[in-house]
Structure 1
Amino acid sequence: MSELNRVPLFPLETVLFPHTMIPLHVFEARYRELVVYCLEHDSPFGVVLIREGAEVGGGEVEPYEIGTLARIGRLRRLEDGRFHLLAMGEERFRIRRLHRGLTPYLQADIEPWRDFPPFSPEEQQALTQAVADAFTEFLRAALEPYGLRTSEIRLPDDPVMLSFAVAGTLQVSLPFKQYLLELQDTCERLRLLHIVLQEVAHAYETKPFDPDNWPGLFSNN
């Protein structure tokens, strides 16, 4: 991404993290136009959590300032003009200026939003290993009751990518997910995720796993 770029925005009631997938059913006319624009110009679009307003209905929305670029991967166009698509999160951005009324959908001038270099690489490496171990145990406890194997799962080695992969998987509140997305301190993101994973592990220890009644630990986003 260049230092300042203009992209179409898709405000949603979800938080998309880099390197994670998002399925979308696009049925509103304004967002059909957005999809067509992205396809014709080989352009990503920005996924932003809605701060105020509604996801559907055509009213104005106010998005959070930090979002994630998404690029269309698989796509199916339905006969009535709707789209089913799967998009991949790329890099984070910060909105510098919103543009309303230029197109049926929002546009924004954006700039990159990246993590700062770690103050202590040793601490970051230790947190990365701790989160990887805790997340692996989480996956084992959550999937093996369904007969699913976890031995072939390969987690990212990169601390930033691992933090996004874990954050995108866990079912936590949208404001907390947005906070994790906005953080530019990789260690702090990993530290918070490790706390959540420890709480999940404690829940498994104190309550037998029941697939029919478990509230759900995987994100629906």
Structure 2
Amino acid sequence: MAAIPMFPLGSVLFPHTPLLLRVFEPRYLTMIGELLDQDDPRFGVTLIERGHEVGGGDRRSSVGTIARLATVSADAEVLHIVGVGTTRIAVEQWTDESPYPRADVIPLPELTWNDALAPLRTEAEAIVRRVLARVDGPWDPDTELSDDPIAASWQLAAIAPLGEYDRYTLLRSDSVGALLRQVIDLTLEAELLWSAE
């Protein structure tokens, strides 16, 4: 895959999940403007592991997700964009930073579903919804999930009330079984921490 536009963020984007952004930095306004000229506008999203993206000097994760640009609306000097996570990627090399970050990336293998995982997915969903009902967060415990089991597994990872480093661990999962088991383990760990406070 050729060098693609990249958007380093302080959060993880999963496949099959929405991305809402307020874009106001001139270089990212330029990036979105160029993407709007494309038939199938896509960009990469990676987690900023340390530092701040503004002004450089940040350290970025090596695994991210391609986002498909779905909608763009303008409000004064800010663009409101909605993207949707598609394929996971590995960053091979960061390239040109002018006028906005780019990287050479390769797609990571898609996860595959096995019906034997259905009980594990049911358990993960029950635990995530139970913990969401007990904490304040951006996701409602009744958030609807996809009927597709792969999409629903990634969406469970997205709504689980976890920190960004735990979410990055989930993004790097190499199987659906590993993803669901880690969703369960990390969510239960988080629940214990909240109960201890």
Q: Same fold (TM over 0.5)?
A: yes
**Structure 1 residue 46 displacement after superposition:** 0.7
| Corresponding residue number in structure 1 for 2:183 | 193
Q: Which runs of 5+ in 2 are unaligned?
A: none
Q: 1:1-221, aligned counterparts within 5 Å?
A: 4-41=1-38, 42-56=40-54, 58-80=55-77, 82-101=78-97, 103-117=98-112, 121=114, 123-138=116-131, 141-142=133-134, 150=142, 154-199=144-189
Distance in 2 between the 1:95 and 1:52 partners? 17
Identify which range, 21-30 or 109-118, moves more after superposition.
109-118
Tell me which amino acid in the other structure corresponds to 1:66.
V
**Alignment: residue pair count:** 192
Q: CA distance change for structure 1 residues 154 and 181 in 2, over 3 Å: closer, same or farther?
A: same
The structure richer in strand per residue is 2
C-alpha contact (below 8 Å) 2:66/2:89 kept by paired residues: yes
C-alpha contact (below 8 Å) 1:68/1:90 kept by paired residues: yes
**CA-to-aligned-CA distance 1:82-136 (integer Å, 9 cap, x gap):** 31222211111111222124x3111112111134547xx4652321122133334
TM-score relative to the length of structure 2: 0.81
Distance in 2 between the 1:149 and 1:28 partners? 34
Identity of aligned residues (%): 28
Q: Which runs of 5+ in 1 are unaligned?
A: 208-214, 216-221
TM-score relative to the length of structure 1: 0.73
Tell me which amino acid in the other structure corresponds to 2:60.
P
- What RMSD in Å do the two structures reach over aligned CA positions? 2.8
Distance in 2 between the 1:116 and 1:88 partners? 17
Q: CA distance change for structure 1 residues 63 and 186 in 2, over 3 Å: closer, same or farther?
A: same
**Structure 1 residue 35 displacement after superposition:** 0.7
